[in-house]
Amino acid sequence: MKHPHSASLSPISGLGGATELAADVAKQNQSFGSLGAFVRRAADCLVAGVISKLHEYEMLIQEHHLDTFGHVNNATYLELLEEARWDYITANGYGLETVQRLRLGPVILEITIKFKREFGNRQRIRIRTGIESYEGKIGTMMQTVVDQEGNVCCEARFVFGLFHLDARKLVAPTPEWLKAIGLARTESDAPQ
């Protein structure tokens, strides 16, 4: 779903069957250590239409995450996804200190979430985060929660922007922000 104030980028649209091929290659390479992990992550990016580096955040579901039904409540999913988003930008040098110093931070404008499978107490999960598009002041981020067996438990799409804490408005992404969300090229990305 497009945000009313932005046009969606389609960086992956011309790939045709490449996403299916990448997914098949990833499945076949699961046992090849770091190469297999790299191929799986690349396939995940293609399949999800992600244009940034894919970030993975692992965690253990604990008792305080559960509701009276013995599974993770829908509101708790949002907290877990937020925790993974903060881990993503903090790992890229844009933690809370940076937000407070620059007076610029992420703001969520819209959320679409699909609950596909429950998970429960003491279950390990992985939250994959990547950017689908960013045009003007508006970006779209995809987050997927998978269980230990690789089953997709939840898919969420967030429309977001960079918010100026003093001016109280959205601003264009800065170089620091683009680096934080994996859209800026770093020295480790440069061809060697």
**pLDDT tens figures, 109-163:** 999 999 999 988 999 999 999 999 999 999 999 999 999 999 999 999 999 999 9
Interacting residues of 75 by C-beta distance below 8 A, sequence separation 6+: none
The band of 171, judged by pLDDT with boundaries at 50, 70 and 90, is very high
Closest CA to 181 of 152, 127, 140: 140
Residue 179 has pLDDT above 60, yes or no: yes
What percent of the chain clears pLDDT 90, i.e. is strictly above it? 59
Topology (CATH) of 51-185: Thiol Ester Dehydrase; Chain A (3.10.129)
Read off the pLDDT of each residue in 173-187 and give the average, rounded to a whole number: 86
| Domain extent listing, the chain | 17-48, 51-185
What sign results for the dihedral spanned by CA atoms 25, 27, 28, 33? Answer: positive
The band of 19, judged by pLDDT with boundaries at 50, 70 and 90, is very low
User: Rounded to two decimals, what is the model's pTM?
Assistant: 0.72
Cβ–Cβ under 8 Å, residues 163 and 108: no
In whole numbers, what is the pLDDT of the chain averaged over residues?
Answer: 79
